[in-house]
Amino acid sequence: MHRLLVAMTVFTYLFILLPILVVVVSAFSPTEFFVFPPPGLSLRWFATFFGTESMRNAFTLSIQLAIVSSILATLVGTMGGLYIARRRGLAASILQGIFLAPLVFPAIVLGLSLLLFFKLLGGMPAFTGLVIAHCVLGMPFVVRSVAASVLAVDPVLEEAAQSLRAGPLRGFALVTLPLIWPGILAGGIFAFILSFGELNAALFLTGPGISTLPIEIFDYLQFSVGQLVIAAASALQIGLILIVVFGLERLVGLARVVRS
C-alpha cells in the first residue's frame, strides 16, 4: 500500500515538474525543432527572442506592469490587511470576504466585467486597465499576508510602545511595522509574480500593440508553429521568477511560499 502511495507521489512530482523542465531544456536547444536528447546547448533562441520586437516589448511591458501593479496592490492591500486583522464581527467578516474574493474569483469574469466597465466609462488606456486589473487580483495576497503577520504580533507590544510615550503613529512605525514587514514584502512579491504570469484577465484588457509576455506567448503558440523562441520566452519567465523567489527567500524565508 505504501509503495503504491510513494509511486503516486513520484508521478505527482513528474506531472508537475516535467512540463517546466522540458520547456527550460528545450530553450537551450541548438536545433530548429526540439529533439531528445538535445545534441548540444545554444542561446540562439534567446537571441531570437530579444531580436523580435513584439517579444521584447511584451517582456518590458510585463515587467513594468508587474512593478506598478504590485506596488499599488501592496499599498492598498497593507491598509486592508491592517484594518481587518484584529476586527471581529459581521462587518469585518464581510469586508474580509470582499477583500479576499479575487483570490478564488474566476479571473476571466473579472477581466470581462472590467472591460465592459472601462468601455462604459468611455475607454481606458490599456496599460492603466491592466494595472487596475492586476492590482485587484494582487491585493488579496497582500491583505492575507499582512493580516496573518499582524495577528502574529502581540497586541501588547503596541500598547507597551504607547505606554513608553510613543504616539499611535510612532508606535506603529517603530514597533508594528518592523514586525509585519516580512508579511508586507511577501504579499507584494506574490502580487508581482501573479501580475507577471497573469493571463485570464489580461486576455480582455490587452490591445493592439500593448501585450503582456504571457499573452504574447499565447498568441504566438496559437498562430505560429513549433518555434523554440517560445521556450526561450518561457525560460526567461521562469528565470525571473526564480530570481524573485530567491530574493524572497533571502528577505523573509521560503516557508511563506508554502503557507500562502
Partner 1 sequence: MTKLVMTRRLASFALLAPPLFVSIIFFIVPLGLLFWVSIHGSSSSELYSDQITAENYIAIISDSFYLTIVQRTLGAGATILALCLVFGYATAYVLAPLSPRARLWLLLLLSLPLLVSNVVRAYGWLTLLGRQGLVNVVLQKAGAIDAPLVMLNTFQAVAFALMTIMLPYMVISICNALATIDSYYREAAQSLRANPFQTFVHVTWPLSSPGVASGMLLVFLMSLSAYVAIVLLGGPRMKLLVSLIFDSAATFRWPLAAAMSFVLLAIALVVCALILMVLRPQRVQGRG
Buried b / exposed e along 161-181 (16+ C-beta atoms within 10 A) = beeeebeeeebbeebbeeebe
Shortest spacing between CB 157 and partner 1, in angstroms: 18
Report the distance separating Cα 182 and Cα 92, nearest Å: 24
Shortest spacing between CB 5 and partner 1, in angstroms: 5
Of the candidate residues 148, 185, 191, 198, the single one contacting partner 1 (CB under 8 A): 198
CA distances to 62, 89, 200, 237 from 214, rounded to whole Å, are: 8, 41, 10, 9
Of the candidate residues 139, 150, 191, 252, the single one contacting partner 1 (CB under 8 A): 139
Span interacting with partner 1, options 50-58, 154-162, 180-188, 218-226, rule CB under 8 A: 218-226
- Provide CB contacts within 8 A for 184, sequence distance 6+: 74, 78, 142, 145, 146, 149
> Residue 179 or residue 236: which is nearer to partner 1 going by CB?
236
Residues 103-132 that bind partner 1 (CB under 8 A): 104-110, 112-117, 119-120, 132
Does 90 engage in binding with partner 1 (CB under 8 A)? no
The SS3 of residue 180 is helix
Residues 5-34 that bind partner 1 (CB under 8 A): 5-6, 8-9, 11-13, 15-23, 26, 33-34
C-alpha cell belonging to residue 103 = 483570490
Does 98 engage in binding with partner 1 (CB under 8 A)? yes
C-alpha cell belonging to residue 146 = 499582512
Of the candidate residues 130, 147, 217, 252, the single one contacting partner 1 (CB under 8 A): 217
Residues 155-184 that bind partner 1 (CB under 8 A): 168
Shortest spacing between CB 250 and partner 1, in angstroms: 15
Could you write out the DSSP letters of every residue in 48-101? HHHHSHHHHHHHHHHHHHHHHHHHHHHHHHHHHHHHHHT--SHHHHHHHHHHHG
Shortest spacing between CB 168 and partner 1, in angstroms: 7
Report the distance separating Cα 147 and Cα 129, nearest Å: 27
Shortest spacing between CB 141 and partner 1, in angstroms: 12
Shortest spacing between CB 81 and partner 1, in angstroms: 8
Q: Read off the DSSP letter of residue 15.
A: H
Q: Count of residues binding partner 1 (CB under 8 A)?
A: 83
Does 102 engage in binding with partner 1 (CB under 8 A)? yes
